[in-house]
Amino acid sequence: MPAGPDQGAPPAPATGGNPPAPGTPAPAVPAPVTQPPGPAPVVDGGGLDSPRLKDIAQQLVSSAENSSLDWRAQYTYIEDIHDGRGYTGGIIGFTSGTNDMLQLVRHYRALKPDNVLARYIPALEKVDGSASHAGLDPSFVADWHRAAQDPVFQKAQDDERDRVYFDPAVGQAKADGLRALGQFMYYDALVMHGPGSDRLSFGGIRAAALGKAKPPSQGGDETAFLNAFLDARRAAMKADPSHQDTGRIDTFQRVFLKAGNLTLATPLRWTVYGDSYTIRS
Residues with active-site annotation: 65, 83
Residue of 260, 279, 244 whose CA lies nearest to 62: 279
Instruction: Quote the CA–CA distance of 243 and 260 in Å, as a whole number.
Output: 26
Contact 85, 131 (CB under 8 A): yes
Contact 259, 178 (CB under 8 A): no
Query: DSSP per residue over 52-119, as a string?
Result: HHHHHHHHHHHHHHHS-S-GGGGGG-EEE-SSSS-EEETTTTEETTSSHHHHHHHHHHHH-SS-TTGG
